[in-house]
Chain A
Amino acid sequence: MDPSLSEFDSFVRTRTPALLRSAYLLTGDQHLAEDLVQSALARTHRSWGRLHHSGNAEAYTRKTMYHLQVSWWRRRRVPESMPGDLPEPRGGDSGPDHAQQTSLRLTLRAALAKLSPKQRAVLVLRFFEDRTEAEAAELLGVTVGTVKSQTAKSLAKLRAVAPELAELYVLEGSTR
């Protein structure tokens, strides 16, 4: 086998799980997450020789993935698949913990669906991937100021569409 292909295989297989998790939060759908990761990886493959030698393959793949997700043409092309209806808020705390956690997850999932792709991307970068504002800005190709403002808007929108989440999270965002 072509050594570079073997190296690319190894890259795909070791990084796919992490990429898929991020893509799932960005799209809210298993199949769209697969499509997104596959599209980003394919672009990485097109430039594998250069990326492999520079050691930037994963950064390039993630950057491509985020750009694909928020780019205007794809936003128009890909129907959002996240279910947009919020589940009924749970009353009291009578249920078992895991049921409460499941309800919370559904609420969060539906609330994320109410955000724009860029707002979702900022949240995922800042609070799931734990990126700094500067790193998020670099990945999205925007300014740090845009990341700050989009983070604030995202959290405000989460608070607006799912007040029960606002009770759980401190939704001012953090600055690093």
Chain B
Amino acid sequence: MNDQRLRLDLTDLAEEVTVVDLRDRTLRTSRRLGVQRAVATSAAALVLIAAVTGTAFAIRPNQSPPPLPADTPSVIVTPTPTQSPSPTPSTSTSVAPNSPSGGSGQNTPTAEIGKLFYGPAEVTGAENANLRSWRPGDNPVRLLALPALALKGNVSVSPDGRRVAWVDSDGTSNNLFVANADGSDKQKVRSDVDPYCVTAVWSPDGRQLLFRETKANDAGGPGRYGVLDVRSTARTVRWWTTEPDACHALWSADGQTIAMNTDLGVTLYGTDGTTRRVVPGFSLDGWRSNDVASLSPDGSRIALLRKKSGGDAGDVARDLRVNVVLNTKTGQEIRLPLGGRELRQVYFQTDGSMVVRVQAGNGYAVLLVGEDGQKISETAEPAALKDMQILAVGA
């Protein structure tokens, strides 16, 4: 036999479908899409349609589990960090930098870059790799060794830089671990945790972890969000009553806002999972974002990777590259003083300033940019960090 037999059998299988007239349903859907487009949430429109027509997605019984993201590990763990994102340097479309009203106000002359945490930019095949830290003026420091996939895909460093959380599989469950940054005091704190999409994230006080629990061996399937108190003896969890279709949670330093990627862009939530608002500026035919990297202390600005529609949206693994910082209320781009260089990463610090990583020759430089958008300082990164990406900025 040859693959012609597969063609014939697929044709035979396809004939099972009953042809129906979709004209009226299509026009109804189109009208609803038109309404929803105003808020740039086509996915929400589909859900709304589902609720109204009773025909669509969410209400169908879960007759078999959704495919695991882990079904395509090569897709999940090998985003292309060495490829430059579509550059969106400051252009004439940018708006002037602004000072969010809820921020910490004027930059002080003493603003400085905190401790930067690094992991490999690419998974090279090594089973483990070391977390590293570096503070401008010091030498890089080697910290605990973690599974390479966790270091690339889900590790989270607490805001004070002392604790690390990550998810690793033991073959039967995806387990959530915490440890000190030097590797001591390692503890398993939960089982069956989403390792790729809603990766665990620390609360600003380093006491809690937001995570998403899944069914065993079903990392991409239905689940629930929980806020785990890692310092409590009983490891209590406050469960959300909602389960947003979202990935890549960020927790603002003021403790009030969770930002996550949803459908085409970003949605802001309260810490109990209630929806606050959708960040404008994303649409089916325009800009999209599947990856967010950092949220400002008051939730007014977000650093993310923004792409034009038409690309492959099938990868749930996180990508910490950044090509734009947006105002979360207006969706407008915030201009950064890049000096004509390519933007690679951005992390907000607790005082509202930004650590901005740019390409500089064969390596990188980190800029300290004040909340007012002005550059405060610039430091060349050590060459030893050339093949690494910044994972977090600690105090």
Q: Known contacts A25-B14, A72-B247: does B7 contact A130 (CB below 8 Å)?
A: yes
The proximity string for B residues 59-71 relative to A, scoring 1 for CB distances below 8 Å and 0 otherwise, is: 0111111110001
Q: Known contacts A30-B17, A41-B22, A169-B3: does B245 contact A76 (CB below 8 Å)?
A: yes
With an 8 A cutoff between CB atoms, is B144 at the interface?
no
* Contact-residue size bin, chain A (C-beta under 8 Å from the other chain): 35 or more
With an 8 A cutoff between CB atoms, is B27 at the interface?
yes
The proximity string for B residues 7-40 relative to A, scoring 1 for CB distances below 8 Å and 0 otherwise, is: 1011111111111111101110110011001000
- Identify whether the interface residues of A are mostly helix, strand, loop, or mixed: helix
A146 partner residues in chain B, CB cutoff 8 A: 312
Give the shortest distance, in Å, between A46 (CB) and chain B (any CB): 6
Q: Roughly how many angstroms separate A9 CA and B21 CA in the complex, as a whole number?
A: 10
Give the shortest distance, in Å, between A96 (CB) and chain B (any CB): 16
CB of A34 within 8 A of CB of B15, answer no
CB of A128 within 8 A of CB of B11, answer yes
With an 8 A cutoff between CB atoms, is A38 at the interface?
yes
With an 8 A cutoff between CB atoms, is B143 at the interface?
no
CB of A169 within 8 A of CB of B64, answer no
Q: Roughly how many angstroms separate A141 CA and B7 CA in the complex, as a whole number?
A: 23
Q: Known contacts A77-B245, A140-B312: does B30 contact A127 (CB below 8 Å)?
A: no
CB of B67 within 8 A of CB of A16, answer no
The interface centre, meaning the residue of B5, B13, B290 with most chain A CB atoms within 10 A of its CB, is: B13
Q: Roughly how many angstroms separate A46 CA and B197 CA in the complex, as a whole number?
A: 31
CB of B290 within 8 A of CB of A39, answer no
Give the shortest distance, in Å, between B55 (CB) and chain A (any CB): 6
CB of A72 within 8 A of CB of B66, answer no
Q: Roughly how many angstroms separate A70 CA and B312 CA in the complex, as a whole number?
A: 9
Q: Roughly how many angstroms separate A117 CA and B316 CA in the complex, as a whole number?
A: 13
The interface centre, meaning the residue of A22, A119, A169, A171 with most chain B CB atoms within 10 A of its CB, is: A169
CB of B26 within 8 A of CB of A38, answer yes
CB of B310 within 8 A of CB of A141, answer yes
The proximity string for A residues 62-75 relative to B, scoring 1 for CB distances below 8 Å and 0 otherwise, is: 00000100111111
With an 8 A cutoff between CB atoms, is B263 at the interface?
yes
The list of the 8 closest CB pairs from A to B, nearest first, reads A42-B29, A24-B17, A21-B14, A79-B62, A84-B64, A45-B30, A42-B30, A41-B26
Residues on B lying within 8 angstroms of A by beta carbon are 1-3, 5-7, 9-23, 25-27, 29-30, 33-34, 37, 43, 46-47, 50, 55-58, 60-67, 71-72, 74-75, 197, 220, 222, 245, 247, 262-263, 284-285, 290, 310-316
Residues on A lying within 8 angstroms of B by beta carbon are 9, 12-13, 16-17, 20-25, 29-35, 37-39, 41-43, 45-47, 67, 70-84, 101, 104-105, 108-109, 112-113, 115-119, 123-124, 127-128, 130, 140-142, 146, 149-150, 153, 167-171, 173-174
Given contacts A73-B245, A169-B1, 10 further A-B contacts (CB under 8 A): A13-B23, A24-B14, A41-B26, A42-B29, A75-B66, A76-B245, A77-B245, A78-B57, A81-B61, A115-B67
